[in-house]
Amino acid sequence: MLLTYLQVFLVGGAVCMLGQLLINLTKMTSAKILVTFLLIGVLLEAIGVFDEIKDFAHAGITIPITGFGSTLAKGAIEGVEKEGLLGALTGGMKAAAAGLSSAIFFGFVISLIFKAKTKV
C-alpha cells in the first residue's frame, strides 16, 4: 500500500518535473505543455506500453494529462474492435466523456459563483 503511493509520487513527480524542464528550456506555455503530454499519452497507449507503466505507477501516470490521452486512444481502439471504423470516431469521446463533461459543467457552474481575482 505505502509502496504503491511512493511509486505514484515518484512517477507522477517525475512526469511533472519533465514538464517543468520543458517550460524552463523552451518557455512553452501551459497549453503547449498540456498538448505535448497528452500526445505522449496517446502515443504510449497506441504502441501498447501505457498499461505496463500504469501497472507500476498507477495514478502517477493516469492523473497527469498523459492519462487523458491514453483514455482517448484506448477508447478509439476499443471502439474499432467493437464497431469497426465508426468506433474510431465515437470510442475516444465516449471513454473521455466523464472528464470532458465534468470539466465543462464545473467550469460553467464555477464561473457563475466566483469572480476572477487579481494575482498577488
Partner 1 sequence: MISRTEYNELNAKLAPKSKEGRTLLFAFLVGGLICMIGQGFSDLFKLLLPKSDEKVIGQLTSTAMIFLGALLTGFGIYDRIGKYAGGGSIIPITGFANSVVSPAMEYRSEGMIFGVMCKMFVVAGPIIVSGIASSVAVGFVYRLIGAIK
Partner 2 sequence: MNFGTQTIRFNNKPRVLSGYSIVGPKESMGPLDPYFHKRLRKDDFGQRSYEKAECKLHMSAISGAIIAAGMTPQDIDVNIGGDLLNQIITSSFSARELDISFIGMYSACSTFGQALIVGAALIDGGYIRTATASTSSHFSTAERQYRYPLELGTQMTPTAQWTVTGAGCSLLGKEGSNIFVESATIGKVVDFGISDANNMGAAMAPAAAKTVLKHLQDTSRSVDYYDHIVTGDLGIYGSRLFLKLLESEGIKAGAVHLDCGAMIYDKKQRCPQGGSGAGCSSVVFNSYFLHHMRAGAIKRLLLVPTGALLSKLSSLQGETIPGIANAVAFEREDD
Of 7, 119, 105, the residue nearest 59 (C-alpha): 7
> Is residue 53 involved in binding partner 1 (CB under 8 A)?
no
Q: Which of 2, 3, 27, 108 touches partner 2 (CB under 8 A)?
A: 27
Which partner from the list partner 2, partner 1, none does 53 bind, CB cut-off 5 to 8 Å by kind?
Answer: none
Grid cell 457563475 — which residue? 112
User: Which residues, numbered 15-34, are part of the site for partner 1 (CB under 8 A)?
Assistant: 15-24, 30-34
What is the separation of C-alpha 95 from the centre of its chain, rounded to a whole number of angstroms? 12
Q: Which stretch binds partner 2 (CB under 8 A): 4-12, 24-32, 54-62, 85-93?
A: 24-32
Using a 10 angstrom Cβ sphere, with 0-12 exposed, 13-18 middle and 19 or more buried, the burial of residue 21 is: exposed
